[in-house]
Amino acid sequence: MNQPSHPANIAELIVDAMRNGQKLTEIRPEHVPADAASAYALQREILRLRDTSVGGWKVGSKSTSGGPINGALLPEDGLFASGSQLECVDYPSPILELEIAFRLNREFAPRDQPYSDEEVLNSIGSMGATIEVVSSRFAAWPKIEPLLALGDLLNHGALIVGEFVPYDASFPFLEPALTFTYADEDIVPGDGANPAGDPRRLLPWLVNHHTQNGLSVTPDLVITTGSYTGMYQTKGPGVALGEIRGLPPISVELI
């Protein structure tokens, strides 16, 4: 007699979808994390099942000051150098975002008291352009529970990492001059601003969140800080070219 089947753990379903380039069509109530802590635990379990380490973080906010901040672990095996080729089949319905990322110049280890804004901001070591490939594992996205999207690495697919340069505190982070094209089409909407305002304000939250979970923030981690160009839904293969004035250009080809 066959044993009754049981619904797979949601982390296993997500990782299977990642590996197969497929989207999940069924969402059961028990799949949705109960709270933010459970959603972040789901992120960590996804990386464990992928047998990869933490390569960085994506962090963002929809408010320019004082609003909620959230983030997602970035799998090390999902970071790619500028100029890379990615297969669309691996990232169904890929969306592109042009962002600025930072690396810190010291390690932040777990400790009892939180790190101050000054400690974190004084440790910014370098910065560079990134292109995030957004690709939810759920067919119903964006009409899914926010906590489920948070657990699904905030819909992260891959991160293209450009060349980093020494940090410049005078850089115009609020509205940098930039260009972003895909398949020779300008895909920058509006004025090219980050919904979080100055993205540096996100870094103290990230450091304290990561260390409070018993993990160290190390200088090799790439911390990407939200889109300056909204979310561009691609319509087929093409080359994305981005340049934020003052930073080296960046590109990725979807094939």
- Please report, in angstroms and rounded to a whole number, the separation of the first and last CA atoms in the chain: 47
Instruction: Name the CATH superfamily housing domain 10-254.
Output: Fumarylacetoacetase-like, C-terminal domain (3.90.850.10)
What distance in Å separates the CA atoms of residue 90 and residue 84, rounded to the nearest whole number?
14
- Exposed, middle or buried, 206 (CB in 10 Å: 0-12/13-18/19+)? buried
Of 128, 129, 241, nearest in space to 188 by CA: 241
Residue with tokens 């940090």: 167
How much is the pTM? 0.93
Environment class of residue 65 by beta-carbon count within 10 Å: exposed (0-12), middle (13-18) or buried (19+)? Answer: exposed
Is residue 9 within 8 A of residue 31, CB to CB? The reply is no
- Look up residue 244 and give its two tokens: 């934020």
Cα–Cα distances (Å) from 69 to 97, 112, 205, in that order, read 18, 21, 7
* pLDDT value, residue 131: 98
Rounded Cα distance between 127 and 117, Å, is 18
Could you tell me how many helices (H) and strands (E) the chain has, helices first? 5, 14
CA distance 208 to 108: 9
Q: Supply the pLDDT for residue 18.
A: 94
Q: Distance (Å, rounded) from C-alpha 20 to C-alpha 10?
A: 15
Contact call for residues 202 and 60 (beta carbons, < 8 A) = yes
Ramachandran angles phi, psi of 29, nearest 5°: -55, -35
Q: Using CA atoms, how far apart are residues 195 and 223, in angstroms rounded to an integer? A: 16
pLDDT of 231: 95
The amino acid present at 126, given as its one-letter code, is S
Could you tell me how far CA 72 lies from the centroid of its own chain? 6
Tokens 């901001």, located at residue: 121
Look-up: residue for tokens 């948070």? 150
Cβ atoms of 226 and 195 within 8 Å: the answer is yes
What pLDDT score was predicted for residue 158? 97
pLDDT along the chain (255 residues), means of 10: 48 94 90 93 95 96 86 97 95 95 98 96 99 96 94 96 98 96 93 91 96 94 97 95 98 97
Locate the domains of the chain by residue range: 10-254
How does DSSP assign 63-76, residue by residue? SSSSS-EEEEEEEG
